[in-house]
Chains A and B, each alone.
Chain A
Amino acid sequence: MRISGAQMVIEALIAENVDTVFGYPGGAIMNVYDEIYKQNSFKHILTRHEQAAVHAAEGYAKASGKVGVAMITSGPGFTNAVTGLADAYMDSIPLVVISGQVPMSLIGTDAFQEIDAVGISRSCTKHNYLVTDASDLGRVLKEAFYIAASGRPGPVHVDIPKDVTAQLAEFDYTKPVELETYKPTTKGNLRQIKKAVEAIAAAKRPLFYLGGGIINANAAELVREFVHATQIPAVETFMARGTLRFDDPLLISMLGMHGSYAANMAMSETDLIIGLGARFDDRVTGKLSEFAKNAQVIHVDIDPASISKLVNAHYPIVGDVKNVLEEMVPLAKESVKPERYASWRETIANFDRLHPLSYNEEGDRIKPQWVIERLGQLLGDRANISTDVGQHQMWSAQFYPFTRPRQWVSSGGLGTMGFGFPAAMGVKRADPERISINVTGDGSILMNIQELMTAVEYKLPVINVILNNNYLGMVRQWQTLFYDKRHSETDLSVQPDFVKLVEAFGGVGYRVETKEAFDAALKDAVEKNVVAIIDVVVNRLENVLPMVPAGGSLFNMMLLEKKEKK
């Protein structure tokens, strides 16, 4: 079949079963947009900023498990999208991002809206391509989807000069991908798996350390089976929230800088870490030389470079965690004796009784943590939760009662303010039956506020819940604790009227100062099923606790001083 490069893009997207493209047009990508106009197979959602297009594609990918697709033009269109690429790279989110480029004949001449896009994206993508001939385009797009979704997932960027999208060439998308140099290991080594199971059976204080790789591998069911069969307690990373149900007696909580006391103490005391798809991030380990000093380490990861990068693995297993667990769980069921860990479980229960994850109520004032708990009580499993970045994000991770994988969508590795709202639009698009909540801050929400227009236009009724503390709260917290209360440039007392703002875009807004008003606003927003902002006035100076100061040891936490309830 001889078709234009632009038509090839459409044909490839159709062949990949893409139902949604988030994007923003411009000169260099216009040939492709012309073909988008002519087709009916997928929906294009015009975000109001290229960064938002990529974040929306990320939200879509995280909620659906499919590859997210974004499309942008050259120059400023591309540079606007870079934050999204970097975010997806850090959190291993499968994306294909297609950008227009100036025509081949103009490349290198400082042409209008020319930028070395592949030069810029190289360090924040899993792979990238500059397509110089339309006869390569089909192969490249097919490889892009394959690379994005396989192995350790990540964003792939395809840059296409304008003349290449106009060029006619032969197109055949049926040829299988042949990449001699890229063959991710997905099956774990059986000998290593057996050794790991022996180590578990021999351990006294083993601990599951569950990471985001489990969500990606769709392995949460198997993990639940593993945990229940062995009765070994588990901690989750921030990225793994939802792997176990919040009310699972074996789930301790999140660990790390803002992890629970019990989770961090369990990690400090364990003699065997069973790491599944987690990468020992510095927010998790604290000071490395003091981290889990008594522990042997089993590390299952699809990326060999994650293993023994920061913490030495005694039982390294390279493979897809789902494949590995399919071998490992039956073996463990035979040899692991749950009674063996009874006193260890009791030790952990005592940690939890000593310092449970909690906060102090202050009369009728709304505490930010209460908002999250209340969201959980009112919506629970019915909602997917996206967040922005800051204190509200940590409280969401700590206090929302997660019940399933892919319920939680948040920027962990890059920590990108402005991620939440467009991501929540992508989540809504992928999972329209569920309520899509974006828990956000008064700082973060303004970083992609223009997306109110997109959400209204495409009827993506995201409910933005602002925990409004009139501060860049997370930075303010560090200033309070480590900079002698010098709150440099973090005061956000000057604010828009969020109710009027959302109304101007055609959504509904609520300003909430009491608990009753919060319940009423949430109920109304859910019933109306429209784009909403619930602006919740919360305690200004609340801190996220526990906290392991950056670079400190995991077991040295600043803890909440619990006041008796009145």
Chain B
Amino acid sequence: MENERRVVSVIVVNEASVLSRITDLFSARGYNIESLTVAPIPDSKYSRLTIVTSGSVRVIEQIVKQLHKLIPVLKVYDHVDFVEKEMAMVKFPISEPINDIDTLCRAYNGKIVNLGDDVLIAMVVDEPKRVDQFLKAIKRFHPKEIVRGGTVALER
């Protein structure tokens, strides 16, 4: 069966060890995690996780059901029609052409966010695929460090 990339959001009770329940489930059942983000939902006792995973239709169905089965899980969204974004930050040597970097960042919804003595830091926010492209494009500016934030998604 074809492997499909899926984005799944999980609403969980914000309590001790809830994150390990979820990651343990993925490792125990041999499911992939490509990215995982988590943060509390404001003014509630819940947190929201966004997981990017992949698998056959049957595997994805099992992932959703198995997540549901965990006691502290309130809801699972297997996204179909949704907006997803990811942020990335990159550190460059100050010697690199600042204007070129800035222009490139703007094309990907970003900008330079910090200028130091030796390095500058730029950030972008875009669809994960576009972030991939951005990270390819900046290779020629000799990035020193790259950090990606992981995907977040909302159903339309």
A interface residues (Cβ-Cβ under 8 A, vs B): 118-119, 122-123, 126-127, 130, 132, 147, 179-182, 303-305, 308-309
Q: Given A130-B17, A308-B61 in contact, is the A122-B74 Cβ separation under 8 Å?
A: no
List, in ascending order, chain B residues with CB within 8 A of A122's CB.
17, 20-21, 24
Whether B71 and A180, one on each chain, are in contact in the complex, defined by CB atoms closer than 8 angstroms, is no
Output the nearest chain A residue to B63 by Cβ-Cβ distance: A305
Output the nearest chain B residue to A119 by Cβ-Cβ distance: B20
Docked CA distance A413–B13 (Å): 31
Docked CA distance A496–B74 (Å): 55
Whether B71 and A130, one on each chain, are in contact in the complex, defined by CB atoms closer than 8 angstroms, is no
**In this complex, which of A122, A123, A305 has the most chain B Cβ atoms within 10 angstroms of its Cβ?**
A305
**In this complex, which of B28, B69, B74 has the most chain A Cβ atoms within 10 angstroms of its Cβ?**
B69
* Whole-angstrom distance between the Cβ of A159 and the nearest chain B Cβ: 11
Docked CA distance A132–B15 (Å): 12
Output the nearest chain A residue to B20 by Cβ-Cβ distance: A122
Whether A147 and B71, one on each chain, are in contact in the complex, defined by CB atoms closer than 8 angstroms, is yes
Q: Given A123-B28, A304-B65, A308-B61 in contact, is the A181-B21 Cβ separation under 8 Å?
A: no
Whether B24 and A304, one on each chain, are in contact in the complex, defined by CB atoms closer than 8 angstroms, is no
* 7 nearest CB pairs, A to B: A305-B65, A181-B74, A127-B71, A182-B71, A123-B28, A304-B65, A122-B24
* Whole-angstrom distance between the Cβ of B71 and the nearest chain A Cβ: 5
Q: What are 5 A-to-B residue pairs whose CB atoms are below 8 Å?
A: A180-B74, A181-B74, A305-B68, A308-B61, A309-B58
Whether A181 and B62, one on each chain, are in contact in the complex, defined by CB atoms closer than 8 angstroms, is no
Docked CA distance A493–B28 (Å): 39
Output the nearest chain B residue to A182 by Cβ-Cβ distance: B71
Whether B71 and A181, one on each chain, are in contact in the complex, defined by CB atoms closer than 8 angstroms, is yes
List, in ascending order, chain A residues with CB within 8 A of B66's CB.
305
Whether B62 and A305, one on each chain, are in contact in the complex, defined by CB atoms closer than 8 angstroms, is yes
Whether B13 and A123, one on each chain, are in contact in the complex, defined by CB atoms closer than 8 angstroms, is no
List, in ascending order, chain A residues with CB within 8 A of B16's CB.
130, 132
* Whole-angstrom distance between the Cβ of A560 and the nearest chain B Cβ: 37
List, in ascending order, chain A residues with CB within 8 A of B74's CB.
180-181
Within 25-65 of B, Cβ neighbours of A (below 8 Å) are at 28, 58, 61-62, 65
List, in ascending order, chain A residues with CB within 8 A of B62's CB.
305, 309
Whether A181 and B72, one on each chain, are in contact in the complex, defined by CB atoms closer than 8 angstroms, is yes
Cβ of B98 within 8 Å of any chain A Cβ, yes or no, is: no
Cβ of B73 within 8 Å of any chain A Cβ, yes or no, is: yes
* Whole-angstrom distance between the Cβ of A429 and the nearest chain B Cβ: 29
List, in ascending order, chain B residues with CB within 8 A of A182's CB.
71
Docked CA distance A122–B20 (Å): 9
* Whole-angstrom distance between the Cβ of A94 and the nearest chain B Cβ: 14
Output the nearest chain B residue to A304 by Cβ-Cβ distance: B65
* Whole-angstrom distance between the Cβ of A427 and the nearest chain B Cβ: 29
* Whole-angstrom distance between the Cβ of B56 and the nearest chain A Cβ: 12
Partner of A181, one of B13, B24, B65: B13
List, in ascending order, chain A residues with CB within 8 A of B72's CB.
181
Q: Given A181-B13, A305-B65 in contact, is the A123-B24 Cβ separation under 8 Å?
A: yes
Partner of B69, one of A119, A179, A180, A303: A303
Output the nearest chain B residue to A143 by Cβ-Cβ distance: B71
Docked CA distance A127–B62 (Å): 19
Docked CA distance A147–B21 (Å): 16
Output the nearest chain B residue to A310 by Cβ-Cβ distance: B58
* Whole-angstrom distance between the Cβ of A213 and the nearest chain B Cβ: 15
* Whole-angstrom distance between the Cβ of A97 and the nearest chain B Cβ: 16
* Whole-angstrom distance between the Cβ of B105 and the nearest chain A Cβ: 41
List, in ascending order, chain A residues with CB within 8 A of B21's CB.
122
Docked CA distance A122–B62 (Å): 19
Docked CA distance A477–B24 (Å): 36
Docked CA distance A130–B21 (Å): 13
Q: A118-B17, A180-B74, A181-B71 are in contact. List 17 more A-B contacts (CB 8 A).
A: A119-B20, A122-B21, A122-B24, A127-B71, A130-B16, A132-B16, A181-B12, A181-B13, A181-B72, A181-B73, A181-B74, A303-B69, A304-B69, A305-B62, A305-B65, A308-B61, A309-B62
Whether B58 and A308, one on each chain, are in contact in the complex, defined by CB atoms closer than 8 angstroms, is yes
Docked CA distance A236–B65 (Å): 26
**In this complex, which of B66, B71, B74 has the most chain A Cβ atoms within 10 angstroms of its Cβ?**
B71
List, in ascending order, chain B residues with CB within 8 A of A123's CB.
24, 28
* Whole-angstrom distance between the Cβ of A473 and the nearest chain B Cβ: 31
Whether A304 and B20, one on each chain, are in contact in the complex, defined by CB atoms closer than 8 angstroms, is no
Whether B20 and A179, one on each chain, are in contact in the complex, defined by CB atoms closer than 8 angstroms, is no
List, in ascending order, chain B residues with CB within 8 A of A147's CB.
71
* Whole-angstrom distance between the Cβ of B122 and the nearest chain A Cβ: 39
* Whole-angstrom distance between the Cβ of B94 and the nearest chain A Cβ: 42
Docked CA distance A180–B74 (Å): 7
List, in ascending order, chain A residues with CB within 8 A of B17's CB.
118-119, 122, 130
* Whole-angstrom distance between the Cβ of B88 and the nearest chain A Cβ: 32
Per-residue A-contact encoding for B102-145, CB less than 8 Å = 1, 0 else: 00000000000000000000000000000000000000000000
* Whole-angstrom distance between the Cβ of A146 and the nearest chain B Cβ: 10
List, in ascending order, chain B residues with CB within 8 A of A118's CB.
17
Docked CA distance A334–B8 (Å): 44
Docked CA distance A180–B13 (Å): 9
Output the nearest chain B residue to A147 by Cβ-Cβ distance: B71
Docked CA distance A123–B21 (Å): 8
Docked CA distance A123–B66 (Å): 12
Output the nearest chain A residue to B62 by Cβ-Cβ distance: A309
Docked CA distance A119–B24 (Å): 10
Docked CA distance A183–B34 (Å): 30
Docked CA distance A561–B140 (Å): 75
List, in ascending order, chain A residues with CB within 8 A of B12's CB.
181
List, in ascending order, chain A residues with CB within 8 A of B65's CB.
304-305, 309
Docked CA distance A182–B73 (Å): 8
Docked CA distance A304–B61 (Å): 10
* Whole-angstrom distance between the Cβ of A184 and the nearest chain B Cβ: 10
Output the nearest chain B residue to A179 by Cβ-Cβ distance: B71
List, in ascending order, chain B residues with CB within 8 A of A308's CB.
58, 61
